[in-house]
Amino acid sequence: MRVYISTDMEGISGISTFAQCGRDPARYEAEGRPLLMADISACVDGLIEGGASYILVGDGHASGCNFIPELMHPDADYFTGTERPRAASGLDESFDAAILLGYHAMNGTETGMMHHTQSSKAETKYWYNGVESGEIVQSSLVIGHFDVPVVMVTGDLATCEEAHHFLGDDIVTVAVKEGFSRQCGILIAPEMAHEMLREGAAECLSRVELCKPFKMDLPIEGKMIVQTPEYAEKRGENLGKKINENTWVASFESPLDIYRF
């Protein structure tokens, strides 16, 4: 069984602030990146135990280059670097299942640690076919385009609730922390989180038949609101149709087009 792991950073165990995800370079290097690699390795261990024959890990946070080569698990390959061609780079129809590892709740989720959708500075919000959506939906749409089901999502408790809301009850979720507000909450020891991630990953491959690829009716009618005024002013054209000072709309023929805004 071929498995793709799409990674983000805000929902990694042991991470509680944007500083660890890159805003503070020292904390990003010392804490954020090693914690990311450790959650990935725990997930890979579980997938091997669950019967995976090939694992590709995609580097999805910010502009990429988050992985540390020395800490890569020998049983997986890693898609990384800058100028990635698209979300879930390296994924195609040959994969049987996908995992969203280290994800976070959509912008505006009060108890979602580091909640945001795309830009935490521009405070962007997104709707597809009228449904407000976060990065779980965005990634699942791209993955679903290749007829691959998402079978496991990890992050904080709010992330797991959002995942079940959109992807159903048959996926495995692993909550590695519980948010109180945007940048604080209750962490568990990474050692414990890794054990939970390993168990979840071993279990999720038995759910592949139950989980369906995530789809929306095409064309997808998209809407984006930029809540931070100075960023709304900075947004260039080419994003679709601007209908007021902070709102853009566009019609997407394919899920691969949704990152146009």
Which segments of the chain are extended strands (E)? Answer: 2-7, 54-59, 77-79, 97-101, 124-128, 131-133, 150-156, 172-181, 184-187, 220-226, 241-244, 247-252
> What CA–CA distances, in Å, run from 110 to 95, 157, 179?
35, 12, 8
Task: Look up residue 74 and give its two tokens.
Answer: 């020998």
Q: Among residues 59 and 96, whose Cβ is nearest to Zn ion? A: 59
Q: Among residues 8 and 45, whose Cβ is nearest to Zn ion? A: 8
Q: Which residue's Cβ has the minimum distance to Zn ion?
A: 61
What mask of x and - would describe binding to Zn ion in positions 59 to 78, judged by CB under 5 A?
--x-----------------
Torsion angle defined by CA atoms of residues 6, 11, 17 and 21, in that order, rounded to the nearest 10 degrees:
-20
The rounded distance, in Å, linking the Cα atoms of 46 and 63 is: 27
Binding segment for Zn ion among 7-15, 180-188, 194-202, 211-219 (CB under 5 A)? 7-15
Minimum distance, C-beta of residue 70 to Zn ion, in the bound complex (Å) = 22
Q: Among residues 21 and 52, whose Cβ is nearest to Zn ion? A: 21
Minimum distance, C-beta of residue 243 to Zn ion, in the bound complex (Å) = 28
Minimum distance, C-beta of residue 36 to Zn ion, in the bound complex (Å) = 10
Task: Look up residue 13 and give its two tokens.
Answer: 């165990």
Cβ-count burial 124-162 (b if 16+ within 10 Å, e if not): bbbbbeeeebbbbbbbbbbbbbbebbbbbbbbbbbbbbb
Q: Interface with Zn ion includes 8 (CB under 5 A)?
A: yes
The rounded distance, in Å, linking the Cα atoms of 228 and 234 is: 10
What mask of x and - would describe binding to Zn ion in positions 12 to 51, judged by CB under 5 A?
----------------------------------------
Minimum distance, C-beta of residue 10 to Zn ion, in the bound complex (Å) = 5
Q: Among residues 48 and 114, whose Cβ is nearest to Zn ion? A: 114
Task: Look up residue 209 and give its two tokens.
Answer: 């038949």
Q: Among residues 118 and 173, whose Cβ is nearest to Zn ion? A: 118
Q: Among residues 28 and 95, whose Cβ is nearest to Zn ion? A: 28
Minimum distance, C-beta of residue 94 to Zn ion, in the bound complex (Å) = 26
Minimum distance, C-beta of residue 96 to Zn ion, in the bound complex (Å) = 25
Q: With contacts defined by CB under 5 A, how many residues of the chain interact with Zn ion?
A: 3
Give yes or no for a contact between 242 and 248, defined as CB atoms under 8 angstroms apart. yes
Binding segment for Zn ion among 3-11, 48-56, 169-177, 246-254 (CB under 5 A)? 3-11
Give yes or no for a contact between 196 and 176, defined as CB atoms under 8 angstroms apart. yes
Minimum distance, C-beta of residue 74 to Zn ion, in the bound complex (Å) = 26
Give yes or no for a contact between 257 and 236, defined as CB atoms under 8 angstroms apart. no
Q: Among residues 8 and 162, whose Cβ is nearest to Zn ion? A: 8
Q: Can you give the binding site for Zn ion, defined by CB under 5 A?
A: 8-9, 61
